[in-house]
Amino acid sequence: MRAVVHSRIMAKEQEVASAERRAAEGGIASDESAVAEPEIEANEGPAEEYENEPNESAAANGGSGEAGCPIVMGEFGDVRCGRKLHLAPDRVDEKPVCLMHSRDPGKQSGPLFDAFWQEFERILVEAGEGVAHFERFIFPEIHFRDREFQAICRFDFATFTQDIHFNFAIFKQDASFIKSTFAQEANFLDAIFTQGTRFSLAIFTQKAIFRRATFIGDSSFIRATFLQKAHFSCATFKQYADFSNATFTQKADFQSASFTWNALFGEATFEQHAYFREATFTQNADFSEAMFTQDAEFNGAIFTQNADFRQATFAEGAVFRSVSFMQRADFRRATFAQSAYFNNAIFTLAVRFLETKFHGTASWRGSRFFDRAEFRRTYFDPQIAGHESAEFALAAFYKPSEIVFDDVNLSRVLFHNCDVSQVWFTPSVQWAKRDGNRGLAVFEERVLLDEEFTKQLWRYGPLDYRAVAQIYQQLKKNYDSRLDYWTANEFHFGEMEMKRLAGPTSGRLLCLRRWWHRNLSFVAWYKYASDYGNSYRKPLLWLLGTLLAAALLFPITGLEFKQAISASTARVTYSCVWNRQDSWTNNFWTEAKLIGKSGITAVDTATFQRTPEYTPVYPRGRVVAIVETLLTSSLFALFLLAIRRQFRR
């Protein structure tokens, strides 16, 4: 039987050769009928049954003839395969198909393997620079290293059951793998795609390697699924690169990739780490509505044109360190579930963080903003209690009036060594409140209580009371310039409080001198008297208290009645007006009248009256009067200053 099969195979091969010489441009059905017959006989199928198999090549071309492989092919699905049916083992194929579309495991080696690749090569040769149709083919293992494909290759809906090797291959024209399935590793290392490349809806079950691949024409990976690692590091995309709605189940590596034209990752899903470190986006980059389930790294990436991250979701860390945004960057309604780092990033044109949500710490440390930056309704709410929500330490605003914070909670935002004197803070911004409702506070002041955290921030410049006072001074200047004096006063309190707490830092008796500066210095008394000029009630109360104290002290030292008839009645004290023989009630009213006269004397002294009715008796009374004059004058000045600060226009 094997001898018969062998003889028939040899006969059919000769028939194929003669048929190819007779027909310069043979159709799919006529050429494949000569190849399909030895396939079946190689499986030891009866020759009579094979010869009676229907041939659909004529039907596929619109004529009449026997039915062949029913698989639909062609770019628009308007052509049927029509090749001779292959007799596969039971239950391998759902319906009878040709060898090229069969899932027969015998194709992995032996005569069927050779027959498959013989037909494959024939299709390429006949296509020339035209279209080579491989739609829905079931491929065994492929080795096309350094292979150059001149034809337009259609691998749409194909299934690659084993490893495929297109490394260093060159596709001179379009290469289409739409909805193809790669069951094993797909290796396109250093491959060159000269024209359009389409992997839309393709499924990569194992690793997909496109490292250093070059896509000269448009490349489409729309809705492609990568179930294992996807390697696109150092790849070059000369035209459109469209990964819209693509799914990366494992690590997606685009490190150092170059996108010369638009890069589209809209609604793409990255379920593991996504690496775009040092990637270059020469035209627009679209990551709108993309989902990053694990860390997303864009360290050192360059966005030459617009970068769109609208409504993108970063479930874990998002790292944009040292990224250059040369045009507009848009993060509107994006969500950062963990920390987001924009340290040392460059924003050349406008950047928007409208309604962006940061559930971890957002850091712009050392970033440079050369144009407008909008933080409107930006949500800062880190999950770690007491931790900073955002950090702008060492950030530089080259157009500070174009930096806008609107309806943002800045109670836990750090502005250490960042000039905010001209930044636009709208009235809807929320700052932290000081204890006792004594004004507004910045988070740096609370950080000073955490020695460990303070040591970390010292790497970016000294963080002490003087540094925090500088922040308060800048904020006071900011609100003063916008005529918002009430808010400016609240930051003025913080500035003076930091100056009071700063104190000396070296020298002898340091602890004593520091205590003195914080509790008994002029700055300390300034706080006690008027909350650093912010309160007009305090100096008013102190003024009334001073007058009352003087009124109670003058009768002790003695009051001198200017119009007294005799020397015995000229001096009046508590003891001289108290009559032991009189009733207690009369004595009480007599003393009360004396205190009233003393009160008038205190007012006369405070108001510098030249002809008072009573004057304090020299010398002790005059000392009390001098002290009263100094105190009341100072307190009245503080009262007027506070009134001016509160109600100035």
Same domain for 452 and 547, yes or no, is no
Would you say 500 and 521 are in contact if contact means Cβ atoms under 8 Å apart? yes
Q: What is the Cα–Cα distance from 343 to 248, expressed in whole angstroms?
A: 27
Helix, strand, coil shares, percent, the chain, to 5 = 35, 20, 45
What pLDDT sits at residue 1? Answer: 35
Q: Report whether pLDDT(255) > 60.
A: yes
Strands 285-286 and 263-264: parallel
What pLDDT sits at residue 575? Answer: 67
What pLDDT sits at residue 460? Answer: 53
> Taking the mean position of all CA atoms in its chain, how far away is CA 132?
46
What pLDDT sits at residue 210? Answer: 98
Q: What is the Cα–Cα distance from 159 to 139, expressed in whole angstroms?
A: 6
Q: What is the Cα–Cα distance from 333 to 554, expressed in whole angstroms?
A: 71
What pLDDT sits at residue 204? Answer: 98
Q: Report whether pLDDT(392) > 80.
A: yes
Alpha-helix runs per DSSP H in 75-129: 110-127
User: Quick count: other Cβ atoms within 10 Å of Cβ 436?
Assistant: 7
Closest CA to 68 of 105, 31, 42, 13: 31
User: Which among 529, 563, 598 is the end of a domain?
Assistant: 529
Interval 251-263 mean pLDDT: 97
Task: Give percent of the chain above pLDDT 70.
Answer: 83
Instruction: Kindly indicate the confidence band of residue 60, based on its pLDDT and cuts at 50, 70 and 90.
Output: very low
Q: Which of 151-155, 418-422, 545-549, 578-582 shows the lowest per-residue confidence on average (mean pLDDT)?
A: 578-582
Instruction: Kindly indicate the confidence band of residue 645, based on its pLDDT and cuts at 50, 70 and 90.
Output: confident
Q: Which of 63-72, 433-442, 536-545 has the highest mean pLDDT?
A: 536-545
Q: Report whether pLDDT(59) > 80.
A: no
C-alpha to C-alpha distances, 626 to 354, 520, 616, 623, 640, nearest whole angstrom: 62, 21, 10, 5, 21
Instruction: Kindly indicate the confidence band of residue 76, based on its pLDDT and cuts at 50, 70 and 90.
Output: low
User: Which among 490, 509, 529 is the end of a domain?
Assistant: 529
Q: What is the Cα–Cα distance from 441 to 435, expressed in whole angstroms?
A: 9
What pLDDT sits at residue 457? Answer: 56
What pLDDT sits at residue 551? Answer: 87
Domain CATH for 546: 1.10.287
Q: Is residue 628 assigned to a domain?
A: yes
Q: Which of 61-70, 227-236, 353-362, 588-597 shows the lowest per-residue confidence on average (mean pLDDT)?
A: 61-70
Closest CA to 124 of 83, 144, 153: 153
Closest CA to 320 of 304, 293, 303, 300: 300
Region for 289 from its dihedrals, namely left if φ exceeds 0, alpha if ψ lies in -120 to 50, beta otherwise: left
**Angle formed by the axes of helices 510-519 and 522-530, to 10°?**
30
Q: Report whether pLDDT(623) > 50.
A: yes
Same domain for 552 and 631, yes or no, is yes
Eight-state DSSP code of residue 128 = T
Same domain for 544 and 640, yes or no, is yes
> Taking the mean position of all CA atoms in its chain, how far away is CA 9?
66
Structure tokens belonging to residue 266: 């809209």
Same domain for 560 and 622, yes or no, is yes
The 3-state DSSP class for residue 166 equals coil
Instruction: Kindly indicate the confidence band of residue 31, based on its pLDDT and cuts at 50, 70 and 90.
Output: very low
- Per the structure, the count of domains in the chain is 3
The residues, ordered by sequence, that sit 6+ positions from 78 with a Cβ below 8 Å of its Cβ are 72
Q: Which of 39-53, 139-153, 157-171, 306-320 shows the lowest per-residue confidence on average (mean pLDDT)?
A: 39-53
DSSP structure string for 412-439: TEE-TT---SS-EE-TT-B-EEPTTS-S
User: Quick count: other Cβ atoms within 10 Å of Cβ 641?
Assistant: 16
Sign of CA dihedral 39, 40, 41, 43: positive
Half-sphere exposure of 171 (CA within 13 A, CB side): 30
What pLDDT sits at residue 592? Answer: 82
The 3-state DSSP class for residue 149 equals strand
Query: What's the domain range around 606?
Result: 537-647
Q: What is the Cα–Cα distance from 48 to 82, expressed in whole angstroms?
A: 20
Q: Report whether pLDDT(626) > 70.
A: yes
> Taking the mean position of all CA atoms in its chain, how far away is CA 13?
65
Greater confidence, 47 or 514? 514
Q: Is residue 520 assigned to a domain?
A: yes
Q: What is the pLDDT of residues 211-241, one digit of tens each?
A: 999 999 999 999 999 999 999 999 999 999 9
Q: Is residue 440 assigned to a domain?
A: yes
Same domain for 553 and 586, yes or no, is yes
Same domain for 504 and 561, yes or no, is no
What pLDDT sits at residue 648? Answer: 67
Task: Give percent of the chain above pLDDT 90.
Answer: 57
Would you say 132 and 121 are in contact if contact means Cβ atoms under 8 Å apart? no
User: Which among 511, 529, 547 is the end of a domain?
Assistant: 529
Instruction: Kindly indicate the confidence band of residue 42, based on its pLDDT and cuts at 50, 70 and 90.
Output: very low
Q: What is the Cα–Cα distance from 200 to 219, expressed in whole angstroms?
A: 9
Q: Report whether pLDDT(558) > 90.
A: no
Interval 386-405 mean pLDDT: 91
For the chain, what is the mean pLDDT?
A: 84
Q: Is residue 132 assigned to a domain?
A: no
Closest CA to 207 of 183, 190, 223: 183
Q: Which of 120-134, 350-364, 423-437, 594-608 shows the lowest per-residue confidence on average (mean pLDDT)?
A: 594-608
Q: What is the pTM of this model?
A: 0.77
Same domain for 522 and 545, yes or no, is no
Q: Is residue 67 assigned to a domain?
A: yes
CA max distance for the chain:
161
Question: Phi and psi (nearest 5°) for 391?
Answer: -140, 130
Q: Report whether pLDDT(50) > 50.
A: no
Interval 200-210 mean pLDDT: 97
Same domain for 525 and 440, yes or no, is yes
C-alpha to C-alpha distances, 567 to 570, 572, 630, nearest whole angstrom: 5, 11, 30
Residue ranges with strand state E in 533-596: 559-561, 571-572
Alpha-helix runs per DSSP H in 229-287: none
Same domain for 436 and 511, yes or no, is yes
Would you say 503 and 517 are in contact if contact means Cβ atoms under 8 Å apart? yes
Q: Which of 515-519, 564-568, 625-629 shows the lowest per-residue confidence on average (mean pLDDT)?
A: 564-568
Say which residue the tokens 């094979």 belong to.
50
Q: What is the Cα–Cα distance from 398 to 28, expressed in whole angstroms?
A: 68
The 3-state DSSP class for residue 369 equals strand
Q: What is the pLDDT of residues 444-469, one digit of tens each?
A: 888 775 555 555 555 555 568 888 99
Q: What is the pLDDT of residues 158-188, one digit of tens each?
A: 999 999 999 999 999 999 999 999 999 999 9
Q: Is residue 592 assigned to a domain?
A: yes
Same domain for 517 and 613, yes or no, is no
* CB crowding 324-337: b at 16 or more within 10 Å, else e: bbbbbbbbbbbbbb
Structure tokens belonging to residue 81: 């395969």
Q: Is 21 exposed, middle or buried (0-12, 13-18, 19+ CB in 10 A)?
A: exposed
Same domain for 517 and 560, yes or no, is no
* CB crowding 535-555: b at 16 or more within 10 Å, else e: bbebbbebbeebbeebbebbb
Q: Is residue 639 assigned to a domain?
A: yes
What pLDDT sits at residue 22? Answer: 40
Closest CA to 358 of 332, 378, 387, 385: 378
C-alpha to C-alpha distances, 586 to 240, 577, 582, 590, 596, nearest whole angstrom: 105, 11, 7, 6, 15
Q: Is residue 499 assigned to a domain?
A: yes
Same domain for 472 and 542, yes or no, is no
Region for 425 from its dihedrals, namely left if φ exceeds 0, alpha if ψ lies in -120 to 50, beta otherwise: beta
